[in-house]
Amino acid sequence: MKKTYFGTDGIRGRVGEAPITPEFALQLGWAAGKALARQGRASVVVGKDTRLSGYLLESALEAGLSAAGVSVRLLGPMPTPAIAYLTRAFHASAGIVISASHNPYYDNGIKFFGADGKKLADAVEAEIEAWLEKPLTIDAPDALGKAMRQEDARGRYIEFCKSSFPFSLSLSGLKIVVDAAHGAAYQVGPAVFGELGAEVIRLACEPDGLNINRDCGSTHPEGLQEAVLAQGADVGIAFDGDSDRVVMVDRQGALVDGDELIVIIAQARLAAGLPVQGVVGTLMSNLGMELALREMGLEFVRANVGDRYVMAELESRGWTLGGEASGHIVCLDKTTTGDAIIAALQVLAAMVSSGRALHELRGAMQKFPQKLVNVRVAKRSDPMAHAGIAQAVRAAEERMAGRGRVLLRASGTEPLIRVMVEGAEHGLVGALADELAALVETALA
């Protein structure tokens, strides 16, 4: 069913421009409340990241939900996966996250979790959109929803994360640099690792409402790499603004991306005798990941890019492990959605239990050279529908003689075309990616 407002990851845009306005947030809160209240008295938990605009959108959503008779627990700045967990913990009808994830501060978004802590079903999103087209009405004064601040939300989530780490292990003796991207995990992230025994050095843990993701976090890990080397740390951990993505840095200062982290988790689970039915990656997953998993005897399948599609593939197959190179990693045996802290804990557990450093564990996967170029375009469209671009892609694949891949796709959240080339020859990969990016820029400008 085609939807007007909801994209692959909720509703997102620039603050002050439709639909990210207080007027729309008020209407959205009311519409969501009406859709949820069909099953009786409803309650919702609402969390946000550290963007200044979060206050504005939170207040508007709260008012709309109250007008629809829905009670609200306000969680404050909390990671997206924390809202998923607390939705279930409080037996809420839904969870709402105010965040634009890895985007700059001037963007924001609103996304939903169902009562099960998973992405809201398409049918419910469609029902909310139907209510959005109706005039806002206010319930009777004695039927309005209440709102309260949930003061212990942070502690509840910290304990949940710690419960995913083996009780028999400790992080004692490890020095960890934690880069929270000045985002939602700036408090809970360092606390989790510290309470498990690690010496924690904080980086980008001082949000001011405007510095979220700015030259830090999983999308800009250069500062973390420098800090790990300068501090002589064992490992660095970088989250994005809402802490559903994680990348790591080994003690030698090398970046370890989501593909490599998933392989490490899979290998550790096999070594511990735990079941790993298979792994779900995406069209962007490195070919080296696929080969490494096959060498372990594991089936590997590619889903469309986006955590929603990874999750759908996992659930359809009954598998528990999957994710993306960007660091969105899903461990369904631990939680219901991608969780950066919990994924990092699985890698740290692998290090501790094996007695091996991160740079040693990452050796299980040999990455193929891959280059990704983001090309900004006037509007999102399918690049392969353009005859000249499609012909150029075929020519590029022929030049790699079966030892590489080319993938062009439109971003689901921004007006970008992502051009990815992967192959055995580094120089050829770079040249082809640049050539295709230049063609896309010219053809779709």
CA distances from 212 to 59, 240, 326 (A): 20, 9, 17
C-alpha angle with apex 312: 132 to 245, nearest 5 degrees? 85
Closest CA to 417 of 408, 406, 428: 408
Question: What are φ and ψ of residue 420, in 5° steps?
Answer: -120, 130
Residue found by looking up tokens 């979790």 in the block? 113
| Distance separating alpha carbons of residues 206 and 44, to the nearest angstrom | 28
Residue-by-residue DSSP string for 156-184 = HHHHHHHHTS-TT---TT-EEEEE-TTST
Identity of the amino acid at 3: K
| Distance separating alpha carbons of residues 53 and 149, to the nearest angstrom | 18
The pairing of strands 175-179 and 199-203 is: parallel
CB 32 within 8 A of CB 94: yes
CB 118 within 8 A of CB 71: no
Question: How many C-beta atoms lie closer than 10 Å to residue 270's C-beta?
Answer: 14
Would you give the distance in Å from CA 372 to the centre of its chain?
19
CB 47 within 8 A of CB 97: yes
| Distance separating alpha carbons of residues 34 and 128, to the nearest angstrom | 8
Question: What are φ and ψ of residue 70, in 5° steps?
Answer: -105, 130
Structure tokens at 437: 């990016």
Residues 6+ apart with CB under 8 A from 412: 7, 8, 9, 305, 306
Closest CA to 96 of 180, 6, 192: 6
* 316 a catalytic residue: no
Of 101, 218, 326, 411, the active-site residue reads: 101
Write out the catalytic residue numbers: 101
